[in-house]
């Protein structure tokens, strides 16, 4: 094997690492510029309200559909497994727990990264290509404050709310399907749901969605602001925005789950001993 043949994959890996670090650094710088812009003043109401409407109200149908199907799919999938263990009456617990802590926030954020994030990247990208971003600067305004801050605020405020809607609709759809189609007792469904799912689980899911919302908005705006020339550049920015947001959602989900679980066991240490005695083995650390 020649030296160049060995060097090529190393070069490729090096270039990819460089591109990743450069991209990540650019994202951090962009987020810091956004924070600095917030410090100088918040955008005006007439700028924020249409974005709140676009991000919030117009996303409700997508979130309702997503939540409904997640709830029903969870019911179908878990019913068979639980029936084999004669635990089908506890379907409410698993559906509610899975929805509020994991699937609800992650899938709602993924849907919103596609619907809201890509649209933001394409809109800002088009504004950049047609010099509208420069026009904002030329008219004495700060483009970051005018374009980015309202979008980040809207996503941070409304994505948790949309996640809560997805969770609620999913739980209701799961209950309706379990009760009407699978023949699960309605009272037992709700009893186990309330018994197993704590306020912390609900809060943890919503805390995650705040971070997801922030990540989606910052990534989308950064991709739009730095998009390449022409229609191809705008299209690529929209695609990149979704792909990067999805990776960020999954990465943040893992990190936040670890951090929130540790926080939970730090606040309620007795929960660790309970979990250990129930499952029969101890997880390393507080994982």
Partner 1 sequence: MSASAIELRNISCEFGSQKVLWDLNLKISVGETVAIVGESGCGKSVTMKVMMQLLKPNSGQLKWFGQDVRTLTVQEQRDQRLRLGYLFQGAALFDSLTIYENVAFGLRQVGRYSEQQIQQIVVSRLEEVGLDIEIIRKRPSEISGGMQKRVGLARALALSPEVMFYDEPTTGLDPVNSRRIDDLIHSVKQAHGVTGIIVTHDLRTVQRVADRIVMLYPRRKLADDDSQVIFDGTLAELASSTDARVKEYVGDELNATPQKTSPSHKVTEAA
Residues lying near partner 1 in the complex (CB under 8 A): 40, 50, 126-127, 130-132, 134-135, 137-142
Q: How far is the CB of 180 from partner 1 (least distance, A)?
A: 45
Q: How far is the CB of 157 from partner 1 (least distance, A)?
A: 21
Q: How far is the CB of 213 from partner 1 (least distance, A)?
A: 22
Task: Return the number of the residue (40 or 187) whose C-beta is nearest partner 1.
Answer: 40
Q: How far is the CB of 22 from partner 1 (least distance, A)?
A: 14
215-238 CB burial, b ≥16 within 10 A, e <16: bbbbbbbbbbbbbeeeeebbbbbb
Q: How far is the CB of 223 from partner 1 (least distance, A)?
A: 19
Task: Return the number of the residue (48 or 161) whose C-beta is nearest partner 1.
Answer: 48
Task: Return the number of the residue (133 or 169) whose C-beta is nearest partner 1.
Answer: 133
Task: Return the number of the residue (182 or 228) whose C-beta is nearest partner 1.
Answer: 228
Task: Return the number of the residue (40 or 83) whose C-beta is nearest partner 1.
Answer: 40
């Amino acid at each position: 094997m020649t030296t160049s043949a060995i060097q090529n994959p190393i070069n490729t890996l090096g270039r990819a690492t460089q591109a990743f670090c450069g991209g990540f650094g650019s994202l951090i710088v962009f987020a810091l510029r956004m924070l600095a812009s917030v410090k100088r003043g918040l955008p005006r109401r007439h700028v924020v309200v249409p974005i709140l409407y676009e991000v919030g109200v117009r996303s409700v149908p997508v979130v309702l559909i997503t939540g409904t199907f997640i709830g029903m799919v969870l019911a179908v999938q878990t019913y068979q497994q639980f029936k084999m263990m004669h635990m089908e009456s506890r379907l409410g617990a698993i559906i509610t727990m899975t929805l509020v802590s994991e699937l609800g926030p992650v899938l709602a954020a993924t849907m919103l990264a596609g619907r809201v994030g890509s649209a933001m990247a394409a809109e800002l990208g088009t504004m950049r290509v047609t010099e509208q971003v420069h026009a904002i600067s030329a008219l004495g305004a700060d483009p970051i404050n005018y374009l980015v801050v309202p979008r980040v605020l809207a996503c941070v405020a409304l994505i948790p709310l949309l996640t809560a809607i997805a969770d609620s609709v999913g739980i209701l759809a799961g209950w309706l399907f379990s009760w009407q189609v699978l023949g699960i007792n309605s009272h037992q469904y709700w009893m186990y749901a309330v018994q197993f799912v704590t306020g912390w689980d609900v809060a943890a899911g919503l805390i995650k969605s705040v971070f997801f919302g922030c990540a989606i908005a910052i990534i989308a705006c950064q991709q739009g602001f730095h998009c390449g020339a022409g229609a191809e550049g705008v299209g690529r920015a929209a695609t990149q925005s979704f792909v990067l947001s999805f990776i960020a959602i999954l990465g943040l989900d893992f990190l936040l789950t670890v951090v929130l679980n540790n926080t939970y066991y730090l606040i309620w240490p007795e929960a660790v001993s309970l979990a250990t005695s129930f499952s029969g083995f101890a997880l390393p650390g507080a994982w």
